Structure 1
Amino acid sequence: MHRSILYGLLAVLLWSTVATAFKLALKDFSVIQLLALSVSISAVVLWVVVLASSSRANIRPTFRKRFKLLALAGLLNPATYYLVLFEAYDRLPAQIAQPVNYTWAIAFSWLAVPFLKKPLRRVDKIASVLGYLGVVVIALQGKSPADFDIDLLGLSLALFSTLLWAGYWLLATRISGDAVVNLAISFSVAVPLVWSMVLYSGEVWPQNPSYLSVIWVGLFEMSITFLLWQKALSSAVNVSKVANLIFLSPFISLILIGVILGEQLHLTTFAGLALILVAVIWQQRSKTT
């Protein structure tokens, strides 16, 4: 097996655990506390990687040429994106919040119209209908619309998070240079902001919390797994073959949600997720043909 596939599979397996880690961490910590801790852990890890590698030569040029853009990126991700995403997970079952997050690729195609001046293709429109139909199927959880009892604010936040993530990647297309240094600077900008939010909130720190899930989020949602994924793509002979591994993640994640969190998984969750993934895969493949 080529090492790029091994890196890719490891990244996918780690990303598959984070939805469960979010919910476990939110049992002990508030949304803002989880945000501050995980962003700080991730920033430290990213700087350790930068300073221990050849990337350290890019620190000064990056600060000089791209700091303003990277500061803006840091306000968007991780600060705002994860604040919204964690709040969505705090309000929704993980089996709803997690699949909805995969519609960000559809949101990207819509945001690309005004920001990149890219026309919306027919396939994008059809994929949008399929993808958001999948969201509806997941949200209903096998019930009729008359019995709809989901937290609408939580669902709205989950959908809004996809716009934020898509917007972040639109901004990222304008930022060149060393990706790891860029990410380290962006996260560093976010650290004082998120901790000021903690202080302003006046929330009481939990007594005897478990930090394992928070550390897991900081390591494997925001930093190390990103680096593994970058390594997988950069060493790949066939990039699309590696990239397609990411579609294993939501199904593995749902299994972990059922086993570890004990959520009763609904068939409609898998049906809705299938609609979302069909829409995203069809949309992505149409760009290469």
Structure 2
Amino acid sequence: MQVIEQGSAIRSIVQALRCSGKSIGFVPTMGALHEGHLQLVRAAALQNDVTICSIFVNPTQFNNPDDYKLYPRSLEQDTAALAEAGCHYLFAPSTSDMYPEQSVLRFSFGVLEEVMEGAHRPGHFNGVATVVSKLFHLVQPHRAYFGQKDLQQVAVVRQLVIGLGFDLEVVCYPTIREASGLAMSSRNKRLNSEQREQAAQLHQALLRAQVQIKNKSAAAIQDDIAAYLAEVPQLQLEYFEIADPATLQPVPNPGAAAEVALCIAAYIGPVRLIDNMIVKPGQVI
């Protein structure tokens, strides 16, 4: 595997690959890789001639400066894991290379960014769209791979691809979980053992909501989940929403919907975690 640090260098490599007829699979990440990321890399390696992964902790998508500073960074371990997973090129640019000047771009995704992550993290999706656009222009992939844990981000990226006419396919893979049910996340590295145990209650809350989805209103389920998680000592619920998986708009009567997304965000101590589950109410027993 080759490590590339300059945008101009990865652009030249990609142009040569495309001219030779090679298909390119791309996995954009912020590093601190776990099995969820590596699943995407292996899928890209199977479905494309060449796999490129990026590691860049993007400052413009953090509305909390402390969160940016504390975000786990483990480039040496990540590099070894990517090579083993079948990655051909690791693009690991500097902040100055990605942002030679302060970005003044502004993206709007309408109602899609007015709920959940968009409502609680002002400017987050503008930062995501900015860096993803830059990466897509540099890497020019045929397919880009994302995880379902970041469901709203995937929806934003799909809209970005359509809106800006990127000629690529957005591929989404299911969330990979630890044995406890906790969704794998780079931020899990900041949890101590007690906090990890309590964080697993987020998945339990989703399972609890799932069995109620057929017969209760969204408001009733939300009240139940809030009460359930209030018993977890270090957990502070930020939101629990029942939404349309495509638009992420609230679904007041989930039992009548063909499919809904159960989406949750909470702080475990100082660490903010998200999770979700896609449910077909008609198939719930």
Query: TM-score under structure 1 normalisation?
Result: 0.26
Which structure features the higher share of strand residues?
A: 2
| TM-score normalised to structure 2 length | 0.26
Structure with larger RCO (C-alpha < 8 A, sep 6+) = 1
Which structure shows the bigger proportion of residues in helix conformation?
A: 1
